[in-house]
Each structure stands twice: as structure tokens, then as C-alpha cells.
Chains A and B, each alone.
Chain A
Amino acid sequence: MHIVSHEVPLVWYLILSAVLFCLGIVGFLIKRNLITVFMSIELMLNAVNLSFVTFAHQWHEVKGQIFVFFVMMVAAAEAAVGLAIIIAVFRARSTLAVDRIDLMKL
């Protein structure tokens, strides 16, 4: 069969997903700007989304696709709330450096 050779193999998608996820983690850990940290979280979410659709395609299973829709919806809501918080924090502290937003520290 020729069809298989035309397709990108499953594992490539997964590797891409893992790479994106790790980039997200690294960005989350090392970046100091709150907005960048936020974007890293979005990146992790989308890496997970990618593996969801990959498996959904592989197993001919529609559940994975539905999960992706849910994740995107939640992410959208989260972005709205998160950005609002970021604006509020900036107004209050005049900074977005996560190391300096430490009011809860003992």
C-alpha cells in the first residue's frame, strides 16, 4: 500500500508535541516576564492538544477531538481571566517581573 508512505508517521507528531511541551516548561521556569510565562502555559496546552488530535486520528476516535475543543475553550477563558489579572497586577505593582510579585511570601 502506498498510502502509508505518504503520511507523516505518528511518532513525529508525538515528538513535536513533546518538544513543544518541554519548550513550554522551560519557558515557564526561566522567563521572568509574567506575559511570557503565560504564553509558555499556552504552549504546553497546545502541545497536549497536538498529541490529542494525533491519537484521535490514529485510533479513529472522536473523543480526542472533543477534548481538544474543551481545552481550547478553557484556554480562551483562561486567557481572558489571566490577562485581566496581569493588567490588574501591573497597575498595582508597576512591574510584571514574577520575582517581585511576592506578596504572599512569608
Chain B
Amino acid sequence: MNEPLHLWLIPVLPFIGFVLNGLLGRRLPKAVVSAIALLAPLGSFLVVLFASRAALAHTEGYGTWITAGSFNVDITFVLDQLSLVMLLVITGVGFLIHIYSVGYMHSDEGYWRYFAYLNLFLFFMTTLVLAGNALVMFVGWEGVGLASYLLIGFWFQKKSAADAGKKAFIVNRIGDFGFLIGLFLLIATFGTLSFSDLAAKVAANPTMSGGVLTVIALCLFIGATGKSAQLPLYVWLPDAMEGPTPVSALIHAATMVTAGVYMVARTHFIFDRSPLALSVVAIIGAATALFAATIGLVQTDIKRVLAYSTVSQLGYMFLGCGVAAYSAAIFHLMTHAFFKALLFLAAGSVIHAMGGEQDMRKMGGLRAKTPITFWTMTMAVLAISGFPFMSAFFSKDAILAAAFASGSLGKLLWFVGLVTAGLTAFYMFRLWYLTFFGETRSHDAHPHESPWSMRGPLVILAVLSVGGGWIGAGRFGAFLSPVLGTNTEEMAGSLEYVMMALAVAAGAIGWFIAHRMYHQRAAAQIAAPAPAGYTLLQNKYYVDEFYGLTIVKPLIAVSKYFLEWVVDIAILGGLAWALSALAVFFGAILQRWQSGNIRSYAAWLALGAAVLLYFVLAPHVFGAPSLHLGMAGH
């Protein structure tokens, strides 16, 4: 076949970085730790660039992992158009965020630990994306969850951070359960987990639709809702903001949380055969987009606004998947990676400037003091709000157009998406105004611009956020069509322009309201907003409280009163107690044998010898043939 591309280098380089920094980092100087940590993703990025020139799709096998009867799992990596886009985003944006981290984490004690985890994340994320079958993907899937857990709880001395890490891990576990069931069903139905074999088998059965495919698709989608923070499993992502800000940018905005979208796109041939599953994906996506956007309207923590924005934008991507516009979803995934990473990094720069303050009510007036952060953030805000000819303008428009074109349900979903676009513009400009405009509302902070290692990635990402849309506008679907198939019906030109105008108008209305509310009013009024509905949003619809009441509390009650008291103490403890009592009882009997009287021991010895002698000699003396003690007959 074609020449080897050494795809294994892509995950292995970060893994080497992880091992070196993880084992030796504590003793190495910071410059060496940074060098190792930066070279790993840079090397992977270069390998991806080199590989992108090859003929796609390219498959590399590294041996067999599991063989059980006719069932077989190989360790294979596949580079096709879809994984290429993902890899470029992951290693490219990942490298930029590594550079940024050098500045952001500069004075942290756990510097080496931070970079070891970050490289570990890249290892698992690239494995997930390169995987040629669902089981290797699952390894990466679980691994990014681990890296995410480690990095959310990076400042584990803080209880809220440790709790957030646990929450993320446990909520993801629920989704992973669905994913696993989906894998088992795939094995039971098709007898293989290789994506190419699965696609071929589905294609070979043109009549196969619904039924088991719906169940498989929904199980896989449950996994996606966990990893990609969709309703009802989104609750972990806002809390994940306890981690360092570059982590939020890399893992909880640009890459890991999009794994669910990637997985749905990768297994699209199953979803395509199940209209019901697709509808569920679209509805969940649209509902999440709207739901998270409304919560984002009133959050005061700058990172939490962005977290809810991420949940909302992921909802858009699933909306795209749900109307079978996979290439639009992946397109939005890519542009979102650019502008959301930029938003987070700029927010990190703001937090850095404010000396760790994350409450937007205490910010304000940063425009003059941090000009580069301000301008890059402005680009990102414009991009996410769908400002004409910036990245999200193209990708969001592609999703909305596809939704509009997909039947009557699609019209409703399109409308939800349009409203969400307006809300998105509102909360992004609210953040922008609160942070950069007006008078500063904190008197103990001395804002200062961030070092170059942080400003550089901001500028590069700003360029990508502005121009990223041109990468894919109009030709992304054609580029991805070998993997995702061609499906989107072309729309009439005039309708498309109307849709574009509507989306831009929605964004403009959002901006206008934010401008009126947060720029033209005094600071005192900003702090005292309208109470109607506000408390509900401020408390995030009480979803955490609802889950706490309906799931966590009963679970703790069952654990405590049934599992601990009944199972552990009564049954297991009782069993152990009974066993020990039995041993004591027999011990008490045997104890009498141990008299301490030497002559009684000797008597037992002699008696034993006599009995043995009897059995040896008895056959000779009495002619009994039945005993075979080995010596008989000699």
C-alpha cells in the first residue's frame, strides 16, 4: 500500500512528554520542563502536517489486541479527512495553549505536574481521534476523562476543585455506561467494532433501519451527552471551571468536550439509519443550546459564562448532527475551538490581570490597561456572536440552514437556534462590557498586561477566529464527504441570504440589549438587576439541587442505611464474626490437646507411630490386600 506515515508518533510524543515530566519533572528546572512539554505537541502537530499530504484515508495497524473466536479487535489508527481536521485542531490549538500555560502557570508549585497531565491529555485525545475501531476510541475516551479529572482537581487542596473533579468523573461515568452498552450491542449485532467494517456492513443491508440501530445510536448518544455536556448530563462542565484556565480552554472548550460530536460524526452511518435517534440528537442539542444560553445570561463568574456558552455551542453542534449535517457540525466544532479557546485564554489573561479575581462585577475598565487582551477578546466576542464573515458566522449559519431545510421539526429547531444566537450575542457582549468598559469596580487590584507567552497565542487565535470561517466556507462539506457522505440539500440562494440576515439580526439585537443594559447604565444598576426570573437563572434552574434531591441524596441514603448498615455491618460483618466465632470454638477444643505435658505429646507420637506401623505390617501379617501404602509387598 502507501508508505507508512508513522501515525503512532502523534499520540506517543505527548506520552513521552508525560512520562519524562511526570517522573523527573520535580527535579528538573522549569525551562527543561517547559521545553519537554512544548516539544511534544509541536512534534505531533508537525507529524500531522506531514501526514496531511498523504493520500487519505490512511490506515495503520499495530497488531491484534483481542481475539475471541471470530471476534477480533486490532489496534489500528485511521487518518482520514475527519480525523485530520480534529488532529490539526487538537495539536495546533493544543500547542498554542501549552505556550500560553508557560506564562499562566509560571509561579505555580505544580508546574511540572500540570504539564505532565496536559501532555497525558493530548496522548489520549489523539488516540481517541485516530482510533480505527470503537474500542481503541473508548480507551482514548476514558483516558481524556482521566486527564480531565486530574486537571479539574489540579488545585486539589481546594475542596471545591476536588469536588468538581469528582463530579466530572462520576457524571461522565454515567455517559460512559451508555457508550459501553452501545459497544456491546455493536458486537452482538455486527460482530465487529472496526468503523470501516461497521460502515460496510450497514451499507450492505440497505433495508436495515430503526430497531437495534436506534438503540445503538441512542446508547452512543448517551455517551456523547456525558462527554460533551449535553442535557441532562451537562452539570459537570460549569463546575469544571475550578481547573486552571488554560485547561478550561483546551479540554473543556476546544477539544475534549467535542469528542461526543466527533463520535456521532464517526458513527454517522448508524445514526443515518435511525430517524428517531437523529431527532433525539437534534432536540437534545437545540434544547441544550437554549437552556445553557439562558443560564449564561446572568452568571457573574467570567469563566462560568464561558462554560455555559460552551455547553450552548456544543448544543449547536449536536443540532447539526441531528439534522444529518455532520460536516456543518464538525465545521462549527473547528471554529468553536478557535474562538472559544481564545475566549478562555483571554479570560485567563483578564483573571491574571486582576490578580485572580473571576467575578465580573468587580472588573470593568480593563480596556486601556490590557489592550491586547481587549482586542483579541473583542475578536472572539464578535466571532461567537456571528458577526458577518467571522468564523461562527459561517459555521452557525451552515447548521441553522441545515436545520431549516430538514422538515417541520427542523423549522422549530431552527427558531430555537436563532433565539440562542441572539442570547449568545447578549451574554458575550455583557461579559465584554462588564470586563472592559466603565469604571473599575475593584480597588485592590492593579491590572497589568500579561507576558508575551500569553499574548502570542491570543493573537494567533484571534487571527484564526476572525479568518477561520474562510477555511471551510462552502467547501468543508465537500472535503469531508469521503467520510461523512454528501447529504445536505442545496438551498435556494435568496433563502440562504435571508437566513444569514436573520442570524446576523438576532446577534445584533442581543448586542443592542447588552449595550443598553450594561453600557448605558450606571454601575449601581448593573449590580441590582430585575428580579423576575433572574433568581431562577442565577440558580441555574435549580438543576444541581434537583439532581441532588432526586439522585444524590437517595443514593447516599441507600449507601448509608442499606449498603453500609445492612450489607456491610450486618451481613458482611456478621459473616466475618461468625467465621471467627467458629474458629474460636474449634480452637477451644483443640487447645486441650496442647497440654504442655511432654509425656502426653510423646504418647500421641508413639500411638501415631504404632498406628502407622500397623497399617504397614497388617497386609503381611493378616494378608489383607486392600491397603496400598506404597511400601506394601516389598
A106 to B595, CA, bound (A): 8
Minimum C-beta distance from B6 to chain A (A): 71
Report yes or no: A106 in contact with B596, Cβ–Cβ below 8 A.
yes
Q: Is A77's beta carbon under 8 Å from chain B?
A: no
**Chain A interface, >50% SS class:** helix
A105 to B595, CA, bound (A): 6
Q: Is A19's beta carbon under 8 Å from chain B?
A: no
Q: Considering the complex, which residues of chain B in the window 586-601 have a beta carbon less than 8 Å from any beta carbon of chain A?
A: 591, 594-599
Report yes or no: B598 in contact with A25, Cβ–Cβ below 8 A.
no
What's the count of A-B pairs with C-beta under 8 Å? Answer: 27
Q: Is B602's beta carbon under 8 Å from chain A?
A: yes
**A25: B residues at CB distance < 8 A:** 606
Report yes or no: A98 in contact with B599, Cβ–Cβ below 8 A.
yes
**A98: B residues at CB distance < 8 A:** 597-599
Report yes or no: B599 in contact with A105, Cβ–Cβ below 8 A.
no
Report yes or no: B594 in contact with A106, Cβ–Cβ below 8 A.
yes
Minimum C-beta distance from A54 to chain B (A): 18
A99 to B603, CA, bound (A): 14
| Binary flags per residue of B570-608, CB closer than 8 Å to A gives 1, else 0 | 000000000000000000000100111111001100100
In the complex formed, the residue of B with least CB distance to A32 is B599
| Binary flags per residue of A62-106, CB closer than 8 Å to B gives 1, else 0 | 000000000000000000000000000000000000110110111
Minimum C-beta distance from A21 to chain B (A): 10
Report yes or no: A106 in contact with B591, Cβ–Cβ below 8 A.
yes
Report yes or no: B606 in contact with A29, Cβ–Cβ below 8 A.
yes
Report yes or no: A102 in contact with B603, Cβ–Cβ below 8 A.
no
In the complex formed, the residue of A with least CB distance to B596 is A105
Report yes or no: A29 in contact with B599, Cβ–Cβ below 8 A.
yes
Q: Is A30's beta carbon under 8 Å from chain B?
A: yes
A99 to B598, CA, bound (A): 7
In the complex formed, the residue of A with least CB distance to B598 is A98
A106 to B596, CA, bound (A): 7
How many interface residues does chain A have, given as a range? 10 to 19
Q: Is A52's beta carbon under 8 Å from chain B?
A: no
**B606: A residues at CB distance < 8 A:** 25, 28-29
Minimum C-beta distance from B234 to chain A (A): 66
Report yes or no: A102 in contact with B596, Cβ–Cβ below 8 A.
yes
**B595: A residues at CB distance < 8 A:** 105
In the complex formed, the residue of A with least CB distance to B610 is A25
**B603: A residues at CB distance < 8 A:** 29
A30 to B602, CA, bound (A): 10
A99 to B595, CA, bound (A): 10
Report yes or no: A30 in contact with B597, Cβ–Cβ below 8 A.
no
**Most chain A Cβ neighbours within 10 Å, of B597, B598, B603, B606:** B598
Report yes or no: A104 in contact with B602, Cβ–Cβ below 8 A.
no
**B597: A residues at CB distance < 8 A:** 98-99, 102, 105
**A37: B residues at CB distance < 8 A:** 598
A27 to B599, CA, bound (A): 10
A30 CB contact (under 8 Å) in B591, B594, B596, B599: B599
Report yes or no: A101 in contact with B598, Cβ–Cβ below 8 A.
yes
Report yes or no: B598 in contact with A105, Cβ–Cβ below 8 A.
no
A101 to B598, CA, bound (A): 9
Report yes or no: A28 in contact with B602, Cβ–Cβ below 8 A.
yes
In the complex formed, the residue of B with least CB distance to A104 is B596
Minimum C-beta distance from B521 to chain A (A): 89
In the complex formed, the residue of B with least CB distance to A30 is B599
A30 to B603, CA, bound (A): 10
> Can you name 22 A-B residue pairings with CB atoms under 8 Å?
A28-B599, A28-B602, A28-B606, A29-B599, A29-B602, A29-B603, A29-B606, A98-B597, A98-B598, A98-B599, A99-B597, A99-B598, A101-B598, A102-B597, A104-B596, A105-B594, A105-B595, A105-B596, A105-B597, A106-B591, A106-B594, A106-B596
Residues of A within 8 A of B (CB): 25, 28-30, 37, 98-99, 101-102, 104-106
The 5 residue pairs across chains A and B that have the minimum distance between CB atoms: A105-B596, A102-B596, A98-B598, A28-B602, A25-B606
